[in-house]
Amino acid sequence: MTKVILGIDTSNYRTSLCLATKDGQIVAEAKRLLRVKEGKRGLQQSEAVFQHVMNLPELSEEMSLAEWEIVGVCASEKPRPVDGSYMPVFKVGEGLGKSLSVFQKVPLYLTTHQEGHIAAGEYTSVEKPKQDRFLAVHLSGGTSELLLCTRQQHGYAIEKVGGTQDLHAGQLVDRVGVALGLSFPAGPALEKLAQSAVGEYRVPSSVQDLTFSFSGPEASLLRTIAQKQVRPAEIARATEQCIANTLEKVLRNAREAGYPEEILIVGGVAANQYIRERLVKRLEHPAVGAKLFFCDPVYSGDNAYGVAMLGWMQHHT
């Protein structure tokens, strides 16, 4: 039987399970977005915990676990690899992981949601950073951070060197999207809506060194929506453009400050094609000299694949 590690991730957006081999092959996976009521912009932790508890047995049945030899279980136990990082949702996946490791008589490995995103980015990108020390940008509904990453045997040493001082990029997308009548999470629908825009409306970005803010752009975008004088497609494109411009400025500043030229971009917002193409065009220009790496869009959102691969890193050390 093929040896696999089971990855488990229970974020505030998705329940995810993944069986992966040592060489990174996914043999089975099951994931489900958490349900959010129409017009709402997210879930309370208690609601998300309940949905994970209900989702995990059903997703487990889809995995055909008996067909593979599970040699370890790895679960994301908290959002980030820093002291004090905690969210109740991750305790659901951690609890399942501990139970399975006991019944299966296999090791339990614990990691973090953020490291899972970075690992998924490295394993699914067309290329991966050549150096062990690189920058990563984690963009999602719960995180917008610039990270200095160093590969280690068990995962990554991560130092936060910049990021948002208020809203996250994913929050900006979702709040604007819901105000435009789109369902939560609004990323894919907003990206589709923006495709018919011509770029006649913009909002300024707010950047100071390696720190940025999305609260001002949010207020401007929501005010424009309320006035009903700008086409929804133009507002959607302005949202994408604001995020892209913000990242471009921050990453230019990082390069000027001497941070690594290799930059891995992960998280749900990183799936946006417009943002990707704009960043590549502006930052891989010889005048800047950056080299960008992107997670496969399928795994840019919350997933357990990176978690499973982090389990393999710990399993062989």
pLDDT confidence of residue 64? 80
Number of domains observed in the structure of the chain:
2
Question: Pairing mode, if any, of strands 133-139 and 262-266?
Answer: parallel
- Pair (310, 260) in one structural domain: no
Decide if 304 is inside a domain: yes
Decide if 124 is inside a domain: no
Q: How many angstroms separate the CA atoms of 34 and 185, rounded?
A: 10
pLDDT digits (tens, 9 = 90+) for 225-238: 999 999 999 999 99
- Pair (308, 237) in one structural domain: no
Q: How many angstroms separate the CA atoms of 45 and 172, rounded?
A: 20
Instruction: Please answer whether residues 196 and 186 qualify as being in contact, where contact means their C-beta atoms are separated by less than 8 angstroms.
Output: no
pLDDT confidence of residue 280? 97
The pTM assigned to this predicted structure is 0.94
What residues make up the domain containing 92?
3-119+300-315
Give the bridge partners for 17, in sequence order. Answer: 8, 30
pLDDT tens, N- to C-terminus, the chain (317 residues): 899 999 999 999 999 999 999 999 999 999 999 999 887 888 899 999 999 999 999 999 999 878 899 999 999 999 999 999 999 999 999 999 999 999 999 999 999 999 999 999 999 999 999 999 999 999 999 999 999 999 998 899 999 999 999 999 999 999 999 999 999 999 999 999 999 999 999 999 999 999 999 999 999 999 999 999 999 999 999 999 999 999 999 999 999 999 999 999 999 999 999 999 999 999 999 999 999 999 999 999 999 999 999 999 999 76
pLDDT confidence of residue 121? 97
- Pair (285, 311) in one structural domain: no
Block residue for tokens 């494109």: 237
- Pair (96, 193) in one structural domain: no
- Pair (8, 91) in one structural domain: yes
- Pair (310, 286) in one structural domain: no
- Pair (97, 170) in one structural domain: no
Structure tokens at 214: 């999305």
pLDDT confidence of residue 66? 81
- Pair (83, 184) in one structural domain: no
Give the bridge partners for 293, in sequence order. Answer: 264
- Pair (253, 310) in one structural domain: no
User: DSSP of 270-288, one letter per residue?
Assistant: GG-HHHHHHHHHHHSSTTT
Decide if 154 is inside a domain: no
Cα separations (Å) of 153 from 36, 132, 245, 310, 311? 38, 11, 35, 9, 11
Structure tokens at 2: 């093929």
pLDDT digits (tens, 9 = 90+) for 260-284: 999 999 999 999 999 999 999 999 9
Decide if 194 is inside a domain: yes
| CATH code of 8's domain | 3.30.420.40
Structure tokens at 210: 């390696």
